[in-house]
Amino acid sequence: MSMTSAQLIEDLGGVQSEALDELQGLTSEESLEEWRVKFLGRRGRLTTVLRTLGSLPPEDRRAAGQEANRTKTLLEEELGAARRRVREGRFALLAEQEQIDVTRPGRPATVGRYHPLTQIIREMCDAFVSMGFQVIEGPEVEWDHYNFEMLNIPSDHPARDMFNTLWIDHKDAEGRQSMLLRTHTSPMQARTMEKTDPPVRVVVPGKVYRYEATDATHEWHFHQIEGLAVDKGITMAHLKGTLYEFARRVFGPERKVRFRCDYFPFVEPGVDMSIDCFVCEGQGSVNGSPCTVCREAGWIEILGAGMVHPKVLSDVGYDPAIYTGFAFGIGPDRVAMLKYGIEDIRLFYSNDLRFLGQF
């Protein structure tokens, strides 16, 4: 008996609806496999219908073949979807049965914190803020003009040797190197005064750079906090009072301070300030052994300062006959080392969490 393509297509439709009906009720992977064998397997229902394709007259085969392929693809897709459904159902059930053991120790959450230098810089700035200073910041890549010229250090001045400068590969119109990594925060003195009229009271925390070999007490980059106060009638007494108060807040109310003459081209007179050693109380030794913090000196130098040089004032357009001021520069790296008993400055920059986690 010969088939017609209409008959074959009708058979296909029958197999399809029967297969889909059965598939609906299946909930286990085993029953899905049985279904696959029954309809799509080598002796399966669909395959049996497909075998009769060959008995069709050649002109009918094409249409019937296409219909047969469509049915096969559909059943395979439905099987895939049913398998996913069954698998997800099993996971949901597992999750439902899962017990939570409330007695198990929790996983500790690590809490971040500020870098010790950030902490000390903030603490130091806070001390000045409470005395009426404003905190500002400035560029780390600086012009020779602000880093040296405006600070009374012209290009032929020997004081340039005090700063081991890192130059940027950039030349000005006259072919001179004119850009550098700032060697101190002092360039912000002129930058600030150029932009404001007195009174000025600012502190400037930031990074500075020097061409220097590193060791336990030297880094090629470190931090400074610059201070500048300019107004009518500012005297050395204001400088001393302000820095004394700062030392007491950061190093304790018992601290004594000592000022000695020092030289910086942009101040006159210039001083450095020391505090009495807070470990040996200025004695130079603890229980008979030499104090390692002040190296038996009893004093620790912590900053440079002075009265702003009249030339620096007039260069920014302030009249030195009317205005006076003081400036200072402190190294927070050194302050933190002293305060926390850190012996190597390089620890601040090596990012070892065992070190950083202690602060």
Whether residue 304 contacts residue 272, with contact meaning beta carbons closer than 8 Å, is answered with: yes
What's CA 18's distance to the chain center, in Å? 64
Q: Which of residues 237-266 bind ligand PHE (CB under 6 A)?
A: 264
Cα dihedral 297→298→302→308 (10° resolution)? -90
Nearest to 243 by CA among 134, 338, 326, 355: 326
Looking at the Cβ atoms of 28 and 235, the one nearer to ligand PHE is: 235
From 58-66, 134-142, 191-199, 327-335, span contacting ligand PHE (CB under 6 A): 327-335
Q: How far is the CB of 305 from ligand PHE (least distance, A)?
A: 5
Based on the shown chain and the rule CB under 6 A, indicate whether residue 193 belongs to the binding site for ligand PHE. Answer: no
Which CA distances in Å does 53 have to 13, 24, 60, 76? Answer: 15, 29, 9, 20
From 46-54, 139-147, 273-281, 322-330, span contacting ligand PHE (CB under 6 A): 322-330
Looking at the Cβ atoms of 49 and 153, the one nearer to ligand PHE is: 153
CA–CA distance, 274 with 303 (Å, rounded to integer): 7
Looking at the Cβ atoms of 138 and 298, the one nearer to ligand PHE is: 138
Q: Which of residues 156-185 bind ligand PHE (CB under 6 A)?
A: 184
Whether residue 8 contacts residue 54, with contact meaning beta carbons closer than 8 Å, is answered with: no
Whether residue 307 contacts residue 328, with contact meaning beta carbons closer than 8 Å, is answered with: no
Place of tokens 């030499």: 290
- Residue 342 tokens, joined: 């850190």
Based on the shown chain and the rule CB under 6 A, indicate whether residue 187 belongs to the binding site for ligand PHE. Answer: no
* Dihedral sign from CA coordinates of 98, 101, 106, 107: negative
Q: What is the bridge-based pairing of β-strands 134-135 and 200-209?
A: parallel
Q: How far is the CB of 358 from ligand PHE (least distance, A)?
A: 29
- Residue 319 tokens, joined: 């009249």
Q: Which of residues 95-154 bind ligand PHE (CB under 6 A)?
A: none
Looking at the Cβ atoms of 44 and 206, the one nearer to ligand PHE is: 206
Q: How far is the CB of 156 from ligand PHE (least distance, A)?
A: 20
Q: Which residue in 121, 188, 305, 312 binds ligand PHE (CB under 6 A)?
A: 305
Looking at the Cβ atoms of 41 and 269, the one nearer to ligand PHE is: 269
Looking at the Cβ atoms of 209 and 251, the one nearer to ligand PHE is: 209
Residues found near ligand PHE in the complex (CB under 6 A):
184, 186, 264, 267, 304-306, 327-329
